[in-house]
Chain A
Amino acid sequence: MRSVSNRSTVDLAPWAVPSRFAWKSCGDVKSRVITGCLCCRAVNVQMVQSQAPWPCTNVVTNFRCRQKSTKYRSLQTEDTEQQIIRETFHLVSKRDENVCNFLEGGLLIGGSENKLIYRHYATLYFVFCVDSSESELGILDLIQVFVETLDKCFENVCELDLIFHMDKVHNILAEMVMGGMVLETNMSEISTQAEAHSKMEKSEAGIAGAPARAVSAVKNMNLPEMPKNINIGDISIKVPNLSSFK
């Protein structure tokens, strides 16, 4: 059974699906988009959000699963990391819609052996940087699996989920990519583990955690600036329902 579902991850040819999906048009969405970008550094992943020219946000986050080999690591401090993210975002964001999803990043990402492979969902870019031992189309699938898993775990994921729950996204990613190498590609396996994690978390918090949860729920609901933010991010990433998935 498992082998069948595993197969589907590679077989479903998601690159045949348009990478930009319909999104709810709510007011001046364009001007307030949060652009995110997830970048996997030969295997370790970075998530970047926006160096956007619009005033909405200046959040830059990066997710790393660290790369496979230590060769380029020595150079990386927080600053160079930020620079890589910025330039990656710059490269990716100026690309047209109907162009291929591979980019040669050159020296920025450690030479010609490495490639940037990205996917564009609504306003988010998921960028993986991989070396030549990974299959290009395979990584495209992997991104798809990642996004679908996020969708499953967050129940209809939207950008705000990713922004406010960085840690959770990171934990899900850790179940997929570890130490720069692909650990698991089966979506149900990944989400099972993620669910098990959150179950444990809840049971540990127990009664002591309840008041804190209540407070944070109240904070989320009542704070005056909240509606504005929700409006900003009310663009959900729609994951395509592919017939071959079932």
Chain B
Amino acid sequence: MALKIVKGSIDRMFDKNLQDLVRGIRNHKEDEAKYISTCIDEIKQELKQDNIAVKANAVCKLTYLQMLGYDVSWAAFNIVEVMSSSKFTYKRIGYLAASQCFHEGTDVIMLTTNQIRKDLSSPHQYDTGVALTGLSCFVTPDLARDLANDIMTLMSHTKPYIRKKAVLIMYKVFLKYPESLRPAFPRLKEKLEDPDPGVQSAAVNVICELARRNPKNYLSLAPLFFKLMTSSTNNWVLIKIIKLFGALTPLEPRLGKKMIEPLTNLIHSTSAMSLLYECVNTVIAVLISLSSGMPNHSASIQLCVQKLRILIEDSDQNLKYLGLLAMSKILKTHPKSVQSHKDLILQCLDDKDESIRLRALDLLYGMVSKKNLMEIVKKLMLHVDKAEGTTYRDELLTKIIDICSQSNYQYITNFEWYISILVELTRLEGTRHGHLIASQMLDVAIRVKAIRGFAVAQMATLLDNAHLLTGNTQRNGICEVLYAAAWICGEFSEHLEDPMQTLEAMLRPKVATLPGHIQAVYVQNAAKLFATVLRKHEGETDSQAAQETSQLLIDRLPLFVQSANLEVQERASCILQLVKYIQKLQQKNVEVAEEVTALFAGELNPVAPKAQKKVPIPEGLDLDAWINEPPSESESEDEKPKAVFTKEEHKHSRSRHTEVDEKELARRREARKQEQANNPFYIKASPSSQKVYDAPGVEHIPVVQIDLSVPLKVPGVPMSDQYLKLEEERRQKDKAERKKKEKKKKREKRGKGRKADSGPESEEDIRPAHQVDIVTEEMPENALPSDDDDKDPNDPHKALDIDLDKPLADSEKLPVRTHRPEVLKSPAEDRVHESIPLETKKKSGKEKKEKKKGKEKDRKRSKEEKKKKKHKEVEEELLESQPEEAVQSEETKEAAAPPTSAEASDLDFWLCSAPVPPAAQEETAPSSAAAVDTSSAAALESEPDEPKDAEPEDTKSSKHKKKKQKKEKEEKEKKKKKRHHHHHHHSDAGGEDSVQNGTVEEEEPLPPMSNYSLLAENSYIKMVYDIQGNHQDESKVVVSVIFENKSDSFLKSMEFNVMDSLNSKLQRPEGAGPHDSLTVPFQLPPGVSNEARFVFSVQSIVMPQKLKGTLTFIVKSDESSTHEKLDFKLHFTCTSYLITTPCYSDAYAKLLESGDLKGSSLRLEGISMPFHHLLARICFHHHFSVVERIDSCASMYSRSIQGHHVCLLVKTSDQTVSIDAKCDEPSLLGNVLDEIKQTFSKC
């Protein structure tokens, strides 16, 4: 025996191992395939041997070959053999091979079930680990069903190494076997609070992955995740959770409100870019889900945009890319705030990195306005010319079209320009997007009536020069344009100067080389042109011209009759016969023009995409219902006649139905028209749209002048540039005229709605070049407003859309191993055989207990919830439900309702209540209540103020119970204490209650903070302000002032003025005197607030400053209007010159070592707030960022707008905080420290 082993190992010495194989392949570059095939032969020999070591070696080599792309599925059985080896080394090789080669179709997988189960329950943790890793790659529905219970047991394994793997693999199990989700979920939830951070992170990972697809089922976990978010220090986990909240907030706006404060704090305090970026992303998601308008939110948007700008300006391309990516999300809802960064985005267009250019292009979409569209498109056209590589150029092309056509051509003032841009785009080499240009041409020509004349002229030129487009066979993408050109020329042929010439161009023999569908359009439109030509020559005494045209058609059309394309052939022969007939009539001198024109009379209206889908099914029409009772089975022997019969009946019923409803339809149409008329956003069809195209209305539209000024082709200069120049001239002229008019007007009227500094003209001022009415696309009557779901029906995640709050039913337990071989049983069968054998029941006993626990938990919670309300009825209900507990499975469904509502109300409560400091904290540190932020609103919210706290509770109870009992305040307080007590008791008992009310958080969340401080206030108006610097300009700060109208009247004509000092000056528009006031660019209806920004230039920033100023405004109520005035003092603190700038610790260390900085220090006594609050506060109020934090010591950094470095080292030890600071400007530092001291003395 021993000899055998030794012999075996000696054999092995000379076998090739993996390294030899790799080396061999590298040495046989010329005949690699041959070498590998001999290797595979060797491997096959090795696999036939009994020695497991040889087999393992062979499998190891096979794995490598598989990675090279060779098919090794033939060795699947050997892989299973190696997997079942008792040695870890071989087992690992086997599992690795399996994870590479096995997939759902591999049939040997079903043989592995028992082996895997054995490995999972192996006493060696690494065997289990390897099995879990392997299984995660090839788990199939059968494996998932059979092993789910074993894996679930592993989730409570003693070793965290196994626990985390088991938790993570559950996700794959859920995907394959969705029935397992509900039974396993309670345990998964438990793992969120596992003591091992790895396990915790795995659980967070799985739940985030699940929640991403079906967020609504996981809303109830929000409080738990919120707690995790505030307590976790692991950035991976934080990022996951923050991403999860991003997915949850669209479903629950209140959650968003709750999130925004902690997130902004994180943004201010974190030094990890990845975390910062995800926070910004989630804040954006929150803002998108909330209706905007609240002042706080505009501040958060500003914060996000500002942070993103820092990212985009960073020299690191990755940050730049991500910044642009996030910016495009803001763009969708808050285009205004992004537009101010246009410069930056245009700059990114020139970046050498294509990924970044593409992202910047996405953003451009939202940057355009009527004013700058032409300019931006011109820039893009330049890029098109320069671009290398067709993909980027195609991307540019689509973007240009997207930008121009967005929201119904909203920004296009001159359609002639647009048409010429489109024509220019057709000159692109090798683009794939010919059809896109074509559809734009068609769309514009059809919907913008005024442009038709111009469009037709351009298209005629295109047709004439068709050889340029089709000359190169590679460019066949672009010849789609000819499709549009031919159609436009044909359909609107009355605008053609010389239809005969165009007709001739359309019938050239070269056309036959075009794709079939284009030829078909050519033929059809040649007929339209023919009609036009005939009509033109109508009435002329000499019918020579008309007859020549007919002859031309008769000569040329046979070419198309021979076409291989059926459509072309059919149309051509049809038209050919028609023309021949007409020729005969012409020879008899019969007037035919009218009849021929009648063939093509009538306007074609554009139809909205999806219009067909949206035709509603008329009421009372049930297409599935039988109209006649189906004949019984015995009567109808064959199926076919039946089917035909029912089909016919359906048709019948529909027509009948419409007859009946004719009146009803008319009524609805009327109602819809009414609605459209009232809807300001609905672009109305011009009344003439229903008429035939020779209606006189079209000629009145002034198009002609510009036609004259721009010759159709300017050699060298692209046409669109000409338009750009023209447009500028026109705008100048307009502006001049307007100014003249304005001067005549009284001064008072000037400020209305517009800034006094009318340097750049505002949107509304740009008059379109010519009156354009855009025809709306037609929709069917009563179109259904909802869009169809475009969800993929095959998405595996759909099956996981399961309500997790319902208590488990008995039937839902996981299948447990039985001694019967049931490997091949399908899940469906499984469900049928719910009468589980005895032994199964025994084994699942543990699980049942688990479930019971869960149920009890829910009940406890619901009890608690109801106790709070002391509602007699509820108690009765509870009493009733007591016996239910004894009755097991049947009753569960009925019992399901109360716990879920309790769960929901738990969430409601958590979302409604303000963050109340925990009771324990109140006892130990009574001052903590006072430690809340100074800003009034925030303080109000977070103080454990009795009536405030009671309010949400009331609203909540009113939601659930119709009756609301009024109670004494004291009683309530008692109750509240009780509740606290109860909770503590509860969590002491083992932290079973995972969904907590938010009142007992381990770590107090950061109090909400706001940088806005009061500027001035009277009975009409309240002003709060914040001062921020920016990196771009070292001598400017921006003061954001929020004006809030407190009165019941309308506030208008607000003018803002300050007395400039030598050092600080308000930036006024050019031409304004140094004492002129600035008009606030909005009016305030009652109760509304809005934000305005004022730029100040400062020279020295080392000292704080105060500027006196006044706000004047007109209060307009129903009968009277009065002038009011409010004085204020703007306080420029030194802090406001600091800008949060991230700093890496190595750079920080260098800075400190350099010795250029002068030091100073500060001691604060009696600070009782937690250290991270302290830091957050310094970060938030004083624009610092944390460089490093070690226990109770942190280094912080900030920079002033003029580039002074400010470094802080903050240390804390029982209630004393010492701050050592260094800065290259001592007086600035002194002032900043004073300000920090003041901040903390306030609390």
Q: Kindly list chain A residues whose C-beta atoms are within 8 Å of the C-beta of B161.
A: 193
Interface of B is mostly: helix
Decide yes or no whether A222 CB sits under 8 A from chain B.
Answer: no
Q: A15-B316, A57-B26, A184-B164 are in contact. Are A3 and B234 (CB under 8 A)?
A: yes
Q: Kindly list chain B residues whose C-beta atoms are within 8 Å of the C-beta of A243.
A: 1145-1146, 1149
Residue of A2, A135, A179 near B137 (CB, 8 A) is: A179
Q: A179-B137, A243-B1149 are in contact. Are A59 and B25 (CB under 8 A)?
A: yes
Residue of A2, A61, A165, A225 near B23 (CB, 8 A) is: A225
Q: A6-B197, A73-B103, A208-B9 are in contact. Are A15 and B319 (CB under 8 A)?
A: yes
For chain B, residues 68 to 117, give those with C-beta under 8 angstroms from any C-beta of chain A: 68-71, 87-89, 92-93, 96, 99-100, 103-104
Alpha-carbon gap, A163 to B272, bound state (A): 34
Q: Kindly list chain A residues whose C-beta atoms are within 8 Å of the C-beta of B136.
A: 66, 178-180
Contact B64 A61, beta carbon cutoff 8 Å: yes
Decide yes or no whether A204 CB sits under 8 A from chain B.
Answer: yes
Interface string of B115-130 (1 = CB under 8 A from A): 0000000000010010
Closest to B209 in A: A133
Alpha-carbon gap, A10 to B633, bound state (A): 70
Q: A13-B273, A69-B175 are in contact. Are A62 and B67 (CB under 8 A)?
A: yes
Contact A137 B89, beta carbon cutoff 8 Å: no
Interface string of B175-194 (1 = CB under 8 A from A): 11000000000000000000
Alpha-carbon gap, A226 to B132, bound state (A): 38
Alpha-carbon gap, A29 to B519, bound state (A): 58
Contact A212 B13, beta carbon cutoff 8 Å: yes
Decide yes or no whether B496 CB sits under 8 A from chain A.
Answer: no
For chain A, residues 166 to 208, give those with C-beta under 8 angstroms from any C-beta of chain B: 166-167, 170-171, 174, 178-186, 189, 193, 196-197, 200-201, 204-205, 208
User: Which interface residue of A70, A73, A182 has the most chain B CB atoms within 10 A?
Assistant: A70
Shortest beta-carbon distance from B7 to chain A in Å: 11
Q: Kindly list chain B residues whose C-beta atoms are within 8 Å of the C-beta of A201.
A: 88-89
Alpha-carbon gap, A98 to B133, bound state (A): 36
Residue of B68, B168, B277 near A60 (CB, 8 A) is: B68
Alpha-carbon gap, A191 to B60, bound state (A): 22
User: Which interface residue of A63, A96, A171, A174 has the most chain B CB atoms within 10 A?
Assistant: A174
For chain A, residues 218 to 246, give those with C-beta under 8 angstroms from any C-beta of chain B: 219-220, 223, 225-226, 229, 242-244
Decide yes or no whether A127 CB sits under 8 A from chain B.
Answer: no
Contact A204 B29, beta carbon cutoff 8 Å: no
Q: A11-B271, A201-B89, A212-B9 are in contact. Are A100 and B67 (CB under 8 A)?
A: no
Contact B794 A71, beta carbon cutoff 8 Å: yes
Q: A135-B274, A166-B64, A183-B164 are in contact. Are A6 and B69 (CB under 8 A)?
A: no
Interface string of B16-59 (1 = CB under 8 A from A): 01111011011101001000000000000000000000000000
Q: A174-B133, A178-B133 are in contact. Are A6 and B236 (CB under 8 A)?
A: yes
Decide yes or no whether B382 CB sits under 8 A from chain A.
Answer: no
Shortest beta-carbon distance from A89 to chain B in Å: 13
Alpha-carbon gap, A219 to B21, bound state (A): 12
Q: Kindly list chain A residues whose C-beta atoms are within 8 Å of the C-beta of B67.
A: 47, 60-63, 166
One of A20-28, A74-82, A147-155 at the interface: A74-82
Q: Kindly list chain B residues whose C-beta atoms are within 8 Å of the C-beta of A100.
A: 317-318, 320-321, 353, 355-356
Alpha-carbon gap, A209 to B17, bound state (A): 13
Alpha-carbon gap, A204 to B70, bound state (A): 31
For chain B, residues 763 to 804, give those with C-beta under 8 angstroms from any C-beta of chain A: 794-797
For chain B, residues 817 to 854, give those with C-beta under 8 angstroms from any C-beta of chain A: none
Alpha-carbon gap, A13 to B93, bound state (A): 36
Decide yes or no whether B298 CB sits under 8 A from chain A.
Answer: no
Contact A205 B89, beta carbon cutoff 8 Å: yes
Decide yes or no whether B493 CB sits under 8 A from chain A.
Answer: no
Alpha-carbon gap, A157 to B92, bound state (A): 23
Q: A61-B67, A63-B67, A179-B137 are in contact. Are A98 and B278 (CB under 8 A)?
A: no
Alpha-carbon gap, A98 to B239, bound state (A): 27
Interface string of B337-365 (1 = CB under 8 A from A): 00000000000000011111010000000
Shortest beta-carbon distance from B347 to chain A in Å: 16
Q: Kindly list chain B residues whose C-beta atoms are within 8 Å of the C-beta of A244.
A: 1144-1146
Alpha-carbon gap, A99 to B165, bound state (A): 36
Shortest beta-carbon distance from A45 to chain B in Å: 11
Residue of B100, B171, B172, B794 near A64 (CB, 8 A) is: B100
For chain A, residues 66 to 121, give those with C-beta under 8 angstroms from any C-beta of chain B: 66, 68-71, 73-74, 78-79, 81-82, 96, 98-104
Closest to A60 in B: B68
Decide yes or no whether B564 CB sits under 8 A from chain A.
Answer: no
Closest to A202 in B: B89
User: Which interface residue of B70, B274, B797 has the most chain A CB atoms within 10 A?
Assistant: B274
Interface string of B199-220 (1 = CB under 8 A from A): 0011001101100100000000
Decide yes or no whether B322 CB sits under 8 A from chain A.
Answer: yes
Interface string of B134-146 (1 = CB under 8 A from A): 0011110000000
Decide yes or no whether A55 CB sits under 8 A from chain B.
Answer: yes
For chain B, residues 232 to 247, give those with C-beta under 8 angstroms from any C-beta of chain A: 233-236, 239, 243
Interface string of A4-42 (1 = CB under 8 A from B): 101101110101100000000000000000000000000
Closest to B1190 in A: A4
Q: A64-B100, A135-B277, A164-B18 are in contact. Are A140 and B318 (CB under 8 A)?
A: yes
Q: A140-B318, A178-B165, A181-B205 are in contact. Are A215 and B198 (CB under 8 A)?
A: no
Contact B353 A99, beta carbon cutoff 8 Å: yes
Closest to A137 in B: B274
Residue of A178, A215, A223, A226 near B168 (CB, 8 A) is: A178
Decide yes or no whether B626 CB sits under 8 A from chain A.
Answer: no
Q: Kindly list chain A residues whose C-beta atoms are within 8 Å of the C-beta of B319.
A: 15
Q: Kindly list chain B residues whose C-beta atoms are within 8 Å of the C-beta of A123.
A: none
Q: Kindly list chain B residues whose C-beta atoms are within 8 Å of the C-beta of A223.
A: 23
Q: Kindly list chain A residues whose C-beta atoms are within 8 Å of the C-beta of B12.
A: 212
Q: Kindly list chain A residues whose C-beta atoms are within 8 Å of the C-beta of B129.
A: 193
Q: Kindly list chain A residues whose C-beta atoms are within 8 Å of the C-beta of B165.
A: 178, 183
Residue of B13, B23, B316, B356 near A215 (CB, 8 A) is: B13
Decide yes or no whether B1088 CB sits under 8 A from chain A.
Answer: no
Contact A99 B272, beta carbon cutoff 8 Å: no
Q: Kindly list chain B residues whose C-beta atoms are within 8 Å of the C-beta of A220.
A: 19
Contact B168 A137, beta carbon cutoff 8 Å: no
Shortest beta-carbon distance from A187 to chain B in Å: 13
Decide yes or no whether A211 CB sits under 8 A from chain B.
Answer: yes
Q: A196-B126, A216-B17 are in contact. Are A71 and B795 (CB under 8 A)?
A: yes
Alpha-carbon gap, A47 to B66, bound state (A): 12
Chain A interface residues (CB < 8 Å from chain B): 2-4, 6-7, 9-11, 13, 15-16, 44, 47, 55-66, 68-71, 73-74, 78-79, 81-82, 96, 98-104, 133, 135-138, 140-141, 163-167, 170-171, 174, 178-186, 189, 193, 196-197, 200-201, 204-205, 208-209, 211-212, 215-216, 219-220, 223, 225-226, 229, 242-244
25 A-B pairs within 8 Å (CB atoms) are namely A6-B234, A9-B236, A15-B273, A59-B22, A65-B99, A68-B171, A68-B209, A79-B69, A82-B69, A98-B317, A99-B317, A99-B353, A133-B208, A166-B67, A167-B96, A179-B137, A181-B206, A182-B236, A183-B168, A183-B202, A184-B164, A197-B88, A200-B89, A201-B89, A209-B9
Smallest CB-CB A-B distances: 4 pairs:
A179-B136, A137-B274, A10-B235, A100-B317
Chain B interface residues (CB < 8 Å from chain A): 5-6, 9-10, 12-14, 17-20, 22-23, 25-27, 29, 32, 60, 63-64, 66-71, 87-89, 92-93, 96, 99-100, 103-104, 126, 129, 132-133, 136-139, 161, 164-165, 168-169, 171-172, 175-176, 197-198, 201-202, 205-206, 208-209, 212, 233-236, 239, 243, 271-275, 277-278, 316-322, 352-356, 358, 794-797, 1144-1146, 1149
* Extra contacts besides A96-B352, A135-B274 (18): CB < 8 Å: A4-B233, A10-B274, A60-B69, A69-B796, A100-B321, A102-B322, A166-B64, A167-B18, A174-B96, A180-B136, A184-B164, A186-B198, A197-B92, A211-B9, A223-B23, A225-B23, A243-B1146, A244-B1146
